[in-house]
Structure 1
Amino acid sequence: MKKWIMLGVVLVLAVGGSVWFFMKEKAEPAVAKSVTANVEKGDLEVQISGSGSVAAINSEDITASTTAEVDEVLVEKNEVVEKGDELITFTDGSDPITAPFDGTVTTLGVEAGDRLSGNDVVAHVTDYKRLKTTVSVDELDITSVKKGQTVDIKASAFEDETFTGKVTSVAKEGTYENGVSSFDVTIQIDKPRDIKIGMSTEVSILTNRAKDALYVPIEAVQMNGDKKYVNIEQEGATDAVASTKTLVETGISNDRYIEITSGLEEGQIVSLPITVSDENRTGSGFNGMRGGQGMPGGGEMQMPGGGGMPNGGGMPGSGGGQ
């Protein structure tokens, strides 16, 4: 009986050893490679985005300022007028109603012989050549927005065109909704061309710019207490370990890049705190691990129990000989 037990144990060990040997041969270790980027030089821009709609800068009702009888209406609906042009005259010689700005007469509601009272609306004039868009900016960004800043404007109806403009006003009071305050920013469109009132817009407000700046991806800069540093890759290095921690000073940043004002030179290679695995093992190239680490335990495949096989390397039931 004892002979059969020993034979069974030997068979189990033999099969288990073969499986372990086969797994060891087939399981290639994951190769973790650091993601790197070059220190680049160029213009770095910081922009704030927002959406809004198009409106006329000048568009208003024209009202009578006196009680009098209309002598003559000098314009027609849809007629283009210039600032100061006479629109309506009165029989009693009162001052005529004139155009307050260049524009188009969009409505006209009086005729000769009508008697007007003060504040009666007689017409509406809209300037279609001077347009604006008003966008809502989050309270966290509004302090960076100033009058006169340059703006890139995209209109939904003209996907392939970019228009330009300038900030003309920033609201002093915001609106509070769903726990967030936002402020209206008004932008004059430089050359509206075919843009029409009511069209939707997406804008990018240029709030800061550094010319001929050195910059790296924002992920490359890490913190150690109150110090900032990057890891510079050694020439010919293939993993994140072979890098040198270098202190840096930074300037402006956007959502992708950060300016380096001291500590680096153009063309140096910095590592990012992420790694990619060997494509042969992962099938995608990116595993999203942080901190420059590879596989757990230094990149080796671990088996349960902390060793090679369960229970520290042997097979269950093989600790004795009986």
Structure 2
Amino acid sequence: MGIMNRRKKKKWLIWGISVILAGAVAGAFIFMPKGTVAFQSELAETRDIMTFHNFPGIIDAKNRETVLSDKPMQICDINVNVGDQVRKGDVLMVTAFGEEIKASINGEVAQLGVKENMPMAAGTEMVKLVDYENLETNVKVDEMSIQFLETGQKIKVTINAFAKELSGTIAAISNEAVNENGVAYFSVAVDLEEDEDLRIGMSTEVKIIKEEAKAATVLPMDVIFFDNANKPYVLQPSKDGEPVKKGISTGINDGMVVEVKSGVRAGESVMHEPNEEGLLEQLFWR
């Protein structure tokens, strides 16, 4: 019982200290004399800023072939085994009547579905070839974003398994959308640069630039405020050091910083109130 009581007292003590600190912070903002708490400053910087469209995808072979028997036949000679590399035009097998079954792509023999002297019906899968050297990622792009894409466009592709970014080129865009749960998607094939780590079935993230501002004046999002009319402004120091409102116009943002089109120039300082940690530091250490 003594141990349990000490634990309860410790818990209530910690809770009580937390409440006191929170009250101290809140009271400081309300009752502190003007100028007691110093504002923090932030410099406007020059930086390129971009926003992106992101689309998930899956890696697949750009070229694959499933060879089917076009009529009843019997194979007398099979020239390949699973795992063999073949070139377009190589003879894969020969029928009992001397007909040659040839590869129509470069690739690897991924599967054999027949044996020598085994009779086959029309439509039998005889061999599957997969080109593992030329891979692509297939992504679904919504109808609102398809306007930003075109064949031949260079893009960046992140391979999620390795957090690796590769170059890609849009090879094909479907002419018809597929409707899924009320949303229309277009299929987009993106050729990938060669990389020995890639495997079919891996997930990808395709990144395409949506908006871009070169050498823009930027500020962190948390130093920008909005008035009752939802117009943005910042706080700048006056001659006596007190903050005054300065209206600005903004452009794009990347979730961290905002493009400032007018009102503040690169190198100029803006002011903002310290967060709880900064306020406590000023309260107890100044």
TM-score normalized by the length of structure 1: 0.60
Aligned letter for 1:119? G
1:266 counterpart = 2:271: no
SS of structure 2 residue aligned to 1:214: strand
Cα distance change on mapping 1:37 and 1:67 into 2, 3 Å: farther
**Distance in 2 separating the partners of 1:254 and 1:213:** 12
Of 199, 203, 210, the residue aligned with 1:200 is: 203
Choose the corresponding residue for 2:108, options 104, 109, 113.
104
Conserved? CA contact 1:61–1:124, under 8 Å: yes
- When residues 119 and 207 of structure 1 are mapped into structure 2, their CA distance, relative to the original with a 3 A threshold, is farther
Counterpart in 2 of 1:130? 134
1:21-32, aligned counterparts within 5 Å? 28-29=32-33
Q: Quote the offset at 1:267 in angstroms.
A: 1.8
Output one character per residue of 1:207-244: Cα deviation in whole Å (capped at 9) or x when no partner.
Answer: 34333333334563858869x654362477755x3243
Return the offset for 1:146: 4.3
How far is the alpha carbon of 1:195 from its aligned partner? 1.8
CA distance in 1, matches of 2:87, 2:102: 9
Q: 1:191 to 1:185 in 2, by over 3 A?
A: same
Counterpart of 1:245 (choices 235, 240, 247) is 247
Q: For residues 303-314 of structure 1, what are the structure 2 equivalents within 5 Å?
A: none
Cα distance in 1 for residues equivalent to 2:177 and 2:246: 49
Structure 2 Cα separation of the partners of residues 28 and 263 of structure 1: 30
Change in CA separation of 1:232 and 1:61 when aligned onto 2, cut-off 3 Å: same
1:276 pairs with 2:274: yes
Distance in 2, matches of 1:237 and 1:103, equals: 76
**Does residue 53 of structure 2 align to residue 51 of structure 1?**
no
SS at structure 2 position matched to 1:194: coil
> 2:81 corresponds to which letter in structure 1?
E
- Decide whether the 8 Å contact of 2:56 with 2:203 is kept in 1: yes
| Aligned-partner residue type, residue 165 of structure 1 | G
- Cα distance, 1:50 vs structure 2: 3.6
Task: In structure 1, list runs of 5 or more residues that go unmatched.
Answer: 1-22, 286-322
* Cross-structure match for 1:15: none
Distance (whole Å) between structure 2 residues aligned to residue 60 and residue 98 of structure 1: 11
Q: Letter of the 2:125 partner, please give it.
A: V
Q: Distance in 2 between matches of 1:93 and 1:200?
A: 44
Where does 1:115-126 land on structure 2 (aligned, <5 Å)? 115-126=119-130
Larger Rg: 1
Which segment is superposed worse, 188-197 or 34-43?
Answer: 34-43
Of all paired residues, the percent bearing the same amino acid is 23
Residues 83 and 142 of structure 1: is their aligned pair in 2 closer, same or farther, counting only changes over 3 Å? Answer: same
The reply to whether residue 113 of structure 1 matches residue 113 of structure 2 is no
| Structure-2 separation of matches of 1:129 and 1:43 | 36
Contact 1:234 1:244 in 2 (8 A): no
Post-superposition offset of 1:196 = 1.4
User: Helix, strand or coil: the match of 1:92?
Assistant: coil
* Partner in structure 1 of residue 84 of structure 2: 79
Looking at structure 1, the residues matched to 221 and 73 of structure 2 have their Cα atoms a distance apart, in angstroms, of: 70
Provide structure 2 residue ranges, at least 5 long, that are not aligned to the other structure: 1-26
- CA RMSD in angstroms comes to 3.9
How far is the alpha carbon of 1:86 from its aligned partner?
A: 2.0
- Tell me what 1:299 maps to: none
Deviation per CA, 1:186-209: give whole Å up to 9, x if none: 433212321212223344333343
Q: Deviations over 1:52-107 (max 9, x none)?
A: 4322222331112344443432211110112222212334354x322222211011
CA distance in 2 between partners of 1:236 and 1:101 (Å): 76
Matching residue's letter, 1:110:
V
Find out whether 1:167 has 2:170 as its counterpart. Answer: yes
Distance of aligned partners of 1:66 and 1:275 in 2 relative to their CA distance in 1, 3 Å threshold: same
